[in-house]
Amino acid sequence: MSTIAFTAGELPDEYEDLRRTVADFTDNVVAPVSESHDTAKTFPYEIVSGMADMGLFGLPFPEEYDGMGGDYFALCLAIEELARVNQSVAITLEAGVSLGAMPVYRFGTEEQKQEWLPMLASGKALAAFGLTEPGAGSDAGGTRTTARLEEGDAGSEWAINGSKAFITNSGTDITRLVTVTAVTGQREGRDGTAKPEISTILVPTSTPGFTAEPAYNKVGWHSSDTHPLSFDNVRVPEANLLGERGRGYANFLRILDEGRIAVGALAVGAAQGCVDESVRYAKEREAFGAPIGSNQAIAFKIARMEARTMTARAAYYTAAAKMLAGKPFKKDAAIAKLVAGEAAMDNARDATQIHGGYGFMNEYLVARQYRDSKILEVGEGTTEVQLMLIARELGL
140 pLDDT higher than 70: no
Whether residue 149 sits in one domain with residue 104: no
Residue 238 and residue 309 in one domain: no
Question: Residue 141 pLDDT > 80, yes or no?
Answer: no
Q: How far apart are CA 240 and CA 242, in angstroms?
A: 6
64 is catalytic: no
Residue-range definition of the domain harbouring residue 202: 128-245
Query: In this structure, are 221 and 334 located in the same domain?
Result: no
pLDDT of residue 136: 73
pLDDT of residue 188: 72
CA distance 83 to 149: 42
Last residue of a domain, one of 245, 274, 306: 245
Residue of 298, 279, 276 whose CA lies nearest to 287 = 298
H or E element in which residue 112 lies: helix 110-121
Q: Which of 102, 125, 148 is the last residue of a domain?
A: 125
For residue 234, the model assigns a pLDDT of 97
What is the pLDDT, as a whole number, of residue 1? Answer: 43
What is the sign of the dihedral through the CA atoms of 263, 267, 268 and 269? positive
Residues 162 and 278 in one domain: no
Q: 94, 157, 277, 380: which one is catalytic?
A: 380
For the ranges 41-55, 130-144, 290-304, 334-348, the lowest mean pLDDT is seen at 130-144
Q: Is 4 inside any structural domain?
A: no
List pLDDT tens digits, range 211-266.
Answer: 999 999 999 999 999 999 999 999 999 999 999 999 998 898 899 999 999 999 99
Q: Is the pLDDT of residue 180 over 50?
A: yes
Whether residue 258 is found in the same domain as residue 383: yes
Average pLDDT, the chain: 94
Residue 296 sits in the same domain as residue 384: yes
- What is residue 191's predicted lDDT score, i.e. its pLDDT? 75
pLDDT confidence band for 4 (50 / 70 / 90): low
Does 136 share its domain with 70?
Answer: no
Tell whether 79 is covered by a domain.
Answer: yes
Burial class (CB within 10 angstroms; exposed 0-12, middle 13-18, buried 19+) of 31: middle
Angle between helices 87-94 and 365-373 (to 10 degrees): 40
SS3 of residue 283 by DSSP: helix
Kind of pairing between the strands at 286-287 and 290-291? antiparallel
Under the banding of pLDDT at 50, 70 and 90, the label for residue 5 is low
Q: Are residues 169 and 271 in the same domain?
A: no
Instruction: Look up the CATH number of the domain holding residue 371.
Output: 1.20.140.10
Q: For residue 227, what are the CA distances in angstroms to 178, 195, 216, 256?
A: 12, 29, 6, 19
Indicate the number of domains in the chain.
Answer: 3
Among candidate residues 369, 316, 313, the one with its CA nearest the CA of residue 345:
369
First-to-last C-alpha distance (Å) of the chain: 37
Both 105 and 146 in one domain: the answer is: no
Across-strand partners of 127? Answer: 177
- pLDDT tens-place string over residues 265-310: 999 999 999 999 999 999 999 999 999 999 999 999 999 999 999 9
Q: What is the pLDDT of residue 138?
A: 62
Task: Please say which residue of 216, 245, 274 terminates a domain.
Answer: 245
Tell me the CB-side half-sphere exposure of residue 25, using CA atoms within 13 A.
25
- Residue 136, beta-bridge partner list: 133
Render pLDDT for 111-122 as a digit per residue (tens, 0 to 9): 999 999 999 999
* 259 and 286 housed in the same domain: yes
Mean pLDDT of 45-51: 98
Query: Is 108 in a helix, a strand, or coil?
Result: coil
143-178 tens-digit pLDDT: 899 999 998 777 899 999 999 999 999 999 999 999
Residues constituting the chain: 396
